[in-house]
Amino acid sequence: MEQLFIRFLNVSLVLLIFALTNVQMVVHADNITSVLRKYNVGIEQVNTEALEQELIRAISEFTRVESEYRERQSLIHTVELTTRIMQSNMQFNDINTASLNMQRREDYLIALVNVDADLEKIFEAEKLYREAQSHLGMVLDMSGIMAKRIESLGIYNEFLPDTNLHDVEQAANDLRSARNRLTGARNLADIGVTENLQFPINYPTRVSSPFGLRRNPFGGSGTEFHYGLDLSAPAGSEVTSLFNGVVARAGYNDGFGNYVIITHGKELQTLYAHLSVIKINTGDRVNQFDVIGLVGSTGRSTGPHLHLGVYINGQTVDPMRLFTKS
Ligand SMILES: [Zn+2]
């Protein structure tokens, strides 16, 4: 009776600590994506295809804006240059000279007529006067044409695309952010399949001990919190990686025996313990479903089984949340 009371006290104490430390209770019905979201990992359902389309749009928009801006800059430059050349070529002096020349010849012709000069002389002077007149006309026409051309260049200037440097910078920013969104999504996509996952053992297996509070499996009084999922399988069964990732640690300790911790993305880690054989090394890149070791009973174990741990942002999560739907 006294022993039972002590056990009751013991259980109450563990439950109290459990409540105070606010460990997540066992909940089923998730896949890893929604589990990650619940842990505020801030990952949305991956749709890399849509993000790839967004990136392609951002690239083509940037290319358009940038080339429009460059076209504008180069046109402005051309217009300015052409205008300057034309203005320097505009021979205002020619107009004055031609005008004076014509005036002089006109005066000479009138003088000859007034003194009743020789007809031949008058005809000659009239011919020179007409020539000077037509020359002035030509010079005036030319200057008119040039003025019109400069004017039309000015009008063309107004029709230039009004893309400015700010637009180019904006498009560059949009492009950068589209690229970052895609990279982020690809990082998550990199962990592999996240739905309808099977237990990570290549052998029909069953849960021998769930996540959560349990009696000490080594007998005696007392309870303990089991921070993982025990899956029983014959020794030597292949253990596989749940997701793509990098081996954070492959080693041995007294509790876990031979164990492997794999990091998938930044916030998700999985632990595989009590292995008889480890088949990978720290730092190795592993693909989802790759064999990483064999089921064993090393460390604190009562028989061949895999202890599977799942950690998100360093917090322990019930691994069943990755497998069960209800
Ligand atoms: Zn265990």
CA neighbours closer than 13 Å in the CB half-sphere of residue 280? 25
* pLDDT score at 219: 72
137 CA to centre of ligand 1 in angstroms: 106
State the pLDDT at residue 116.
Answer: 84
Q: Which tops the pLDDT comparison, 218 or 38?
A: 218
Query: Does residue 56 have a pLDDT over 60?
Result: yes
**If you measure from the C-alpha of residue 3 to the centroid of ligand 1, how many angstroms do you get, rounded to a whole number?**
27
Contact 194, 34 (CB under 8 A): no
Could you tell me the distance, in angstroms and rounded to a whole number, from the CA of residue 228 to the centre of ligand 1? Answer: 5
Q: Which of 216-225, 294-303, 308-317 has the lowest mean pLDDT?
A: 216-225
Start-to-end CA span in the chain (Å) = 41
Query: What separation in Å is there between the alpha carbon of 38 and the centre of ligand 1?
Result: 24
- 46 pLDDT band, cuts 50/70/90, is low
What is the average pLDDT across 269-287? Answer: 95
Q: 21 alpha carbon to ligand 1 midpoint, in Å?
A: 20
pLDDT in tens, 251-260: 999 999 999 9
- Residue in 78, 31, 119, 64 with CA at minimum distance from that of residue 325: 31
Query: How many angstroms is it from 307 CA to the middle of ligand 1?
Result: 4
Confidence of residue 208 (pLDDT cuts 50, 70, 90): very high
Paired tokens of 313: 């942002």
Cα of 80 from ligand 1 centre, angstroms: 80
Lowest mean pLDDT among 81-85, 174-178, 230-234: 81-85
CA 123 to centroid of ligand 1, rounded, Å: 126
User: What's the 163 CA to ligand 1 centre distance in angstroms?
Assistant: 64
The rounded Å distance from CA 158 to ligand 1 centre is 76
In this prediction, residues 200-206 reach a mean pLDDT of 94
Domain 2-31+195-322 superfamily per CATH? Glucose Permease (Domain IIA) (2.70.70.10)
* Ligand 1 centroid, distance to 300 Cα (angstroms): 9
Whole-number Å distance, alpha carbon 116 to ligand 1 midpoint, is 135
Q: What are the residues facing 247 on neighbouring strands?
A: 262
Nearest to 67 by CA among 171, 152, 138, 155: 171
Distance 274 CA to ligand 1 centre (A): 9
User: pLDDT at position 235, please?
Assistant: 97
Confidence of residue 233 (pLDDT cuts 50, 70, 90): very high
Distance (angstroms) between ligand 1 centre and the Cα of 237 equals 17
d(CA 323, CA 30): 7
CA of 229 to the centre of ligand 1 (A): 6
* Ligand 1 midpoint to CA 241 (Å): 17
Distance 171 CA to ligand 1 centre (A): 53
CA-wise closest residue to 208 among 286, 94, 277, 301: 301
| CA 31 to ligand 1 centroid distance, Å | 21
* Residue 92 structure tokens: 């205002």
Residue 27 pLDDT: 35
What is the rounded average pLDDT for all residues in the chain? Answer: 81
